[in-house]
Amino acid sequence: MSNAGETESGLTRRALATVERIGNKLPDPTLLFIALLLAVWVLSWLLAYVDWNVTDPRTGEPLQVINQLSGEAMVLFLSSMVKTFAHFHPIGVVLVAMLGIGVAEHTGFINSALRAMLGVTARWLLTPMIILVGIVSHTAADAGYVLVIPLGGVIFYAAGRHPLAGIAAAFAGVSGGFSANFIPSAIDPMLQGLSQSGAQILDPDITLNPLNNFFFTASSSLLIVAVGWLVTDKLVEPRLQGSSLDDNLQDLPTMDALDANERRGLQAALCSMLVAIALLVASAWPETSPWRGDGGGLTELGAPLMGSIVPLIFILFLLPGVVYGYTAGSINSARDIIAGMTKAMETMAYYLVIMFFIAQFIFAFAQSNLGILLAVKGAGALQAAGLPSAVTIIGIILLTGLLNLLIGSASAKWALLAPIFVPMLMELGISPDLTQAAYRIGDSTTNIITPLMPYFPLVVVYCQRYIRSAGIGTVTAMMLPYSVSFLAAWTLYLLAYWALGIPLGLQSSYSY
């Protein structure tokens, strides 16, 4: 049995090595997105003259591919180019957060805080802790991508483990387990609203609870932590041991004990952070707080608190970073603070270049209707198959996972698919709550293996901090075991959950 296990493990490692080798032979990610943009232009031109005989679920009109090489489309593309780049959501999220984090790194606050934390945390518990923190970070929108994932690498490096394994574990929790969370977030009412709109196509009187999947997604957190822990420690990290780190790593923490100045600075910094958090809680607590949304909630869709998460991260790292620097003596003037911000921005130069071309590709792809056509045709094929309910749910998960490789936004994708999937499955006796739960699995599990996901290149940049030769293939091969394991385990978990009749969430059901 052991020989068979070793052979299987060897085959897996060779397969992942092949994925990495082929992936890293792809052109630079920037050139890859330029090629994809050209492909969208050519495909939209070729397919614009075909009558697809399908209805656009957004408008009810016949669906047509829009030729992006037409004069009007090219004028729109060029006239929108600056706005498309400047308003591309991931850019602002990353840059604003990095200003504060850059100061906290430059002054030594993050270094000292991690060393203190590692002094009281068992080395073997680092993996589940990082994955769990990644899952909880969903509450703060996209903050996990700029905060948790790079810290995963730093924490593993400081503990004497491979830093890319820490990045992988954090990425798995933040993105692969995107639909698992103990804490409700703005994504719950957003998806529920789209599911309800889709259901009302068939039943105008139906209403869904915003937490209609909460019990399932909360319990799924334990599944994601357990599976992610196993994959990291038994497969990903052992494979990474053959990847040597660069020799000139700088500004990374070690396990050295804190000296007196560092301890004093850390204590003052943490006190300042606690005071800032206390002031935030005090200002948000009253029912009349301006942090609350129109419905009175702090975490509801459109609540100012949710819209301010990234600026709050900026402040909650800038403040203790500055306090630490002055108290520990690592900075002497405001010039040092600005130097920290400048240094952080210098590391983002490559990211800005690739984000420009990603933004243009996504704009052209959305304008062409190619993604919508693929979704509608896929859903139609699924419906025509006439499969049993359980197999249909698995089909929804797999189709969503495939579409997720091309359409990254969870809300945009569900806005497209809900009017198709929800009433289609209601006709088969499957509730909107169950359809939404299946969608959330497919939407999460393939996030971590698609270079088209806007934060994927950022993860490549994080890996290049330790291994300059790391590329798309490195990250894809590293994350593929998580993607496959999460997809299989989470799908089986939903089927078992359904078979046992455990409620998916508040006021939820399995049948319609």
Beta-carbon contacts of residue 33 (< 8 Å; ≥ 6 apart) = 354, 357, 358, 360, 361
pLDDT in tens, 230-261: 999 999 999 898 788 887 776 666 666 788 99
Long-range contacts of 419-422 (CB under 8 A, 24+ apart): 419/57, 419/58, 419/197, 419/198, 419/201, 420/57, 420/198, 420/375, 420/376, 420/379, 421/198, 421/379, 421/396, 422/195, 422/198, 422/199, 422/201, 422/202
Q: Within a domain: residue 510?
A: no
| Three-class secondary structure assignment of 400-433 | HHHHHCCCCCHHHHHHHHHHHHHHHHHHCCECHH
| Three-class secondary structure assignment of 283-334 | HHCCCCCCCCCCCCCCCCCCCHHHHCHHHHHHHHHHHHHHHHHHHHCCCCCH
Closest CA to 339 of 93, 99, 159: 99
Top pLDDT among 161 and 252 is at 161
Q: Within a domain: residue 488?
A: yes
Asked whether 132 and 351 are in contact (CB, 8 A), the reply is no
Could you tell me the pTM of the whole model?
0.75
Q: Which two tokens stand for residue 65?
A: 């591919």
pLDDT confidence tier of residue 425, bands split at 50, 70 and 90: confident
Indicate the number of domains in the chain.
1
β-strand partners of 109: none
pLDDT in tens, 64-118: 999 999 999 999 999 999 999 998 877 887 788 889 888 988 898 887 887 787 6
Q: Within a domain: residue 7?
A: no
Q: Within a domain: residue 225?
A: yes
pLDDT at 139: 63
Q: How far apart are CA 66 and CA 369, in angstroms?
A: 6
Average pLDDT on 456-471 reads 90
Average pLDDT on 167-178 reads 92
Cα 481 to chain centroid distance, Å, stands at 17
Q: Which of 16-20, 40-44, 448-452, 504-508 has the lowest mean pLDDT?
A: 16-20
Average pLDDT on 22-48 reads 86
Q: Within a domain: residue 3?
A: no
Q: Within a domain: residue 163?
A: yes
Q: How far apart are CA 265 and CA 268, in angstroms?
A: 5
Q: How far apart are CA 177 and CA 161, in angstroms?
A: 23
Q: What's the angle, vertex CA 258, arms to CA 256 and CA 261, rounded to 5?
A: 145
Q: Within a domain: residue 80?
A: no
Q: How far apart are CA 105 and CA 98, in angstroms?
A: 10
β-strand partners of 55: 62
Average pLDDT on 364-372 reads 85
Domain coverage including residue 407:
90-500
Q: Within a domain: residue 410?
A: yes
Average pLDDT on 381-409 reads 83
Top pLDDT among 502 and 429 is at 502
Highest mean pLDDT among 162-171, 289-298, 424-433: 162-171
pLDDT confidence tier of residue 335, bands split at 50, 70 and 90: very high
For the chain, first and last CA: distance in Å? 47
pLDDT at 250: 65
pLDDT confidence tier of residue 1, bands split at 50, 70 and 90: very low
